[in-house]
Chains A and B, each alone.
Chain A
Amino acid sequence: MQISRTVAPNISWARLRPHIVGWAFISPWLVSFSFLMVYPFIASFVLSFTRYQLIGEAEFIGFENIQRMLFEDERVADALRVTFTYVLLTVPAGTAISILVAVLLNQSVRGIPFFRTSFYMPSVIGGVGLALLWTTILAKNGPINAALGLVGIEGPNWLFETAWALPSLALKAIATAGAAMLIILAALQGVPQHLYEAVDLDGGGEWAKFWHVTLPQISPAIFYNVIVTTIGVMQSFVEAFIMTNGGPGTATLFYGLYLYRQAFEFYRMGYASALAWMMFLIILALTIINFRVARFWVYYEGEE
């Protein structure tokens, strides 16, 4: 016997069931998304207008945090300067090197799986472990300085000299760009062979193939990497937290680290929330700019 469960004249149980089943299946994600993403997102926005020190009530202070952040706190300017410099040091160089390595790893030579694994391996190691490893590599008595010593060069104290600390962190970031390399390698393998044959017919050489075929064809993958890497680098934290603690002075004071200090060392959660929102807006602006500029250099199949 079939039981009709009519809730309303036009809404039958049979029609509702797929929706309910669907919602039930996504509910674990929905709950965690709501509580772990949406709620903190809204809460941090509200907190950015308050003075809140982890315990007790948050006190509404209007735009005081924003005023301090924009006009009074010179460390915000330091942190932004360091972070943007880091982006400029790592994103272009990291992208160029990951393209170069991907092109090399796309060749058919003996032992290529070993080289691919070797270049990708650093990306698999966790952030903290990698940071500790590089702390040892870049130590005053570490292997880099030992190697320099063999050719008569006295290496600096990489992580603790103002001039070298940020470039050292950038070196670490560039040398561990395996994930970007992998994406570009995948894109390289999707470049149609007939395009290269067309260049051959036109009498073009290897450079012409790379410049007129390879680069345009992999430009969406490069664009994706630029976007993701820029966002990731803007949010850098672990390197400075583990390797230099922001020093010497403010030489590696990343914005993320400064935000963390305000929140969990100085217990100024309201101010830290305001800083977080400014970071969000900066990243949003950068991403929009990247998309606008992409029109001029990213090629999609089927476009004119």
Chain B
Amino acid sequence: MASKVSRRSFLKVSGSVVAGAAVAGCVAPAAPTAMDSAEPSSERVALRFLNKWGSGVRRELMNGFLDTWAEENPNIGIIFEPVADFDRRMPILVAAGEWGDIMLFFDLQLSAFHEIATDLTPYFEASGTPFPGQEGSELIRIPNHVGYEPGKVKAVPFQLNIVMTGINKDLFREAGVPMPWEHDHNGDKWWDWHDYREAACAINDLGEDIIGSNFSVGNIEQDGLVNWSVANGGQLIDVENKKGSWNTPEFIEGQQFAVDMICQDGCMMNVDDYQGLGQALGIYPWAAGVQGIASRGSGYWVSRSEADLTQVAWVRSPNTGQSAGLGSMHFHIVTTQSQHPAEAFEFITYLANFENQKNIALSGTAEPVNAGVWQDTDYQATWGSPEAVEAYLDALDNFIFTPQLPGVLEWFGEIKILWGDVLRCEASVEEQVVIVDQKTDEILAAHA
């Protein structure tokens, strides 16, 4: 039977609830206390895990990792919280103090937020694991100043993205051009950028709805573009002197080659045109390079499964013979809020182990951060040819990280605008590099 509540009682209760809610909202969460021990506890714990792999193939992979973990580690529960729109939402979660135990960041984010990352050095030492990239470690090198300071590690790598070239083999065959590994440059069968241009223009001529080449419009739009210069010996930023470094013969030559493909040959689409068309056709050009339009599928990895697409290493600069360009990395950190850092460390190193990273690599969703996977014959078998394997390994050994300097995020934002004029064929490379360098100096000085 429903009991009658007097108005006074109702007001008392509602007043108390409102006051209680207000007070609860103001009270800061209890300060976390990191455990003194670097050894995992034997008691059952639950860890909040914030990561972006929440849909599609990546979600399936993550579910598999979590299932295996749960079977093998019944005492360490993982509460997986996929973060959609990761690049934008992670900073908001950081600002809101919603850190959980484990967070995923890309390198430039971590550079900005490293203060919330627990120093993992004691956990590496306690487990007898060498630091990433050091002798005996199965993990590849990680950039300085991010998760890695001299004598200190604050992050464990999870996912690598180095600029690659996705090629549509169907269109290569249709255009009658050699595959990237079918050339001959004094015994080196890997293609160089002249071969790239030839292939792109031949594919372009196949029809109006086929675009020979585009470049990356991923997180950092110019990844694909600056790669021409980086592989040619140019520097993205003079990190040592914290100054602009685009006004050099190496950098200009690489840019001029790419811009000529856009503005003179019409065999490569500038970023704006490609965006308009790409959205119309549902293309998501994660990987850069010659990627004939596959009208099926909406993402690179989806296209890969539906068309005869292959991801190969970047083209070589004919001047340096290098096919390595830029690389960016995603890391897991254990937040300073975590009360179970040892267990969290155990989990994030598990995600970077050989088996899991091999599954990631074979799925085509990212490059592995486990060096052993690069040597794995199953993985190498997906690369097309021995020459492609060689170029891939060369790219891995020699890729450079995006400079981890304060202000680089703002710098990228500004470069996109400044270099856009060149890509739209409205400014010359030689004039614009001077402006870019001036702007670089200004931004880096402001953040110094």
Contact = CB atoms under 8 A, between A and B. Distances in A.
B18 A261 contact: no
B92 A160 contact: no
A135 to B, nearest CB: 6
A34 B115 CA distance: 31
A264 interface: yes
A55 B113 contact: yes
B308 interface: no
Given A68-B446, A141-B280, A162-B426, 19 more contacts: A24-B14, A31-B22, A35-B22, A35-B25, A53-B112, A54-B94, A54-B112, A55-B113, A141-B277, A141-B281, A142-B280, A159-B275, A247-B417, A248-B424, A253-B417, A264-B88, A265-B413, A266-B413, A268-B410
Contact of B92 (A68, A142, A264): A264
A161 interface: yes
A265 B108 CA distance: 10
Contacts of B413: 261, 265-266
Q: Which of B14, B22, B281 has the most CB of A within 10 A?
A: B22
A139 B279 contact: yes
Q: How large is the interface on A (under 10, 10 to 19, 20 to 34, 35 or more residues)?
A: 35 or more
Given A140-B277, A249-B421, A267-B409, A161 B272 contact: yes
Contacts of A250: 417
Contacts of B416: 247
A6 B199 CA distance: 93
B15 interface: yes
Interface string A63-95: 000001000000100000000000000000000
B280 A264 contact: no
Nearest to A249: B420
Contacts of A28: 18
B91 A157 contact: no
Interface string A234-257: 000000000000011110010000
Contacts of A141: 277, 280-281
Interface string A155-169: 001111110000000
List of 8 A-B pairs having minimum Cβ-Cβ separation, nearest first: A160-B272, A139-B280, A157-B276, A141-B280, A160-B276, A266-B410, A140-B276, A248-B272
B11 A248 contact: no
Contacts of B420: 247-249
Contacts of A159: 275-276
B118 to A, nearest CB: 14
A118 interface: no
Given A28-B18, A55-B116, A266-B413, A247 B272 contact: yes
B21 interface: yes
Q: Which of A139, A247, A266 has the most CB of B within 10 A?
A: A266
A20 B414 CA distance: 55
A249 B272 CA distance: 9
A16 to B, nearest CB: 13
B424 A162 contact: yes
Given A139-B280, A157-B277, A24 B15 contact: yes
Contacts of B88: 264-265
Contacts of B273: 140, 157, 160
Interface of A: 20-21, 24, 27-28, 31, 35, 53-56, 68, 75, 135-136, 139-142, 157-162, 247-250, 253, 261, 264-269
A55 B115 contact: yes
Contacts of A31: 18, 21-22
B272 A157 contact: yes
Interface string B245-283: 000000000000000000000000000110111011100
Nearest to A268: B410
Given A28-B18, A31-B21, A135 B115 contact: no
Contact of B11 (A21, A68, A157): A21
A269 B112 CA distance: 13
Interface string B63-104: 000000000000000000000000010011011000000000
Contacts of A20: 11
Contacts of B21: 31
Contacts of A53: 112
Interface in B397-448: 409-410, 413-414, 416-417, 420-421, 424, 426, 446
Contacts of B421: 249
A164 to B, nearest CB: 10
B418 to A, nearest CB: 8
Nearest to A55: B115
A158 B11 CA distance: 58
Contacts of B113: 54-55
Q: Which of A247, A261, A269 has the most CB of B within 10 A?
A: A247
A54 B95 contact: yes
A247 B21 CA distance: 44
A248 B419 CA distance: 11
A8 to B, nearest CB: 21
Contacts of A140: 273, 276-277, 280
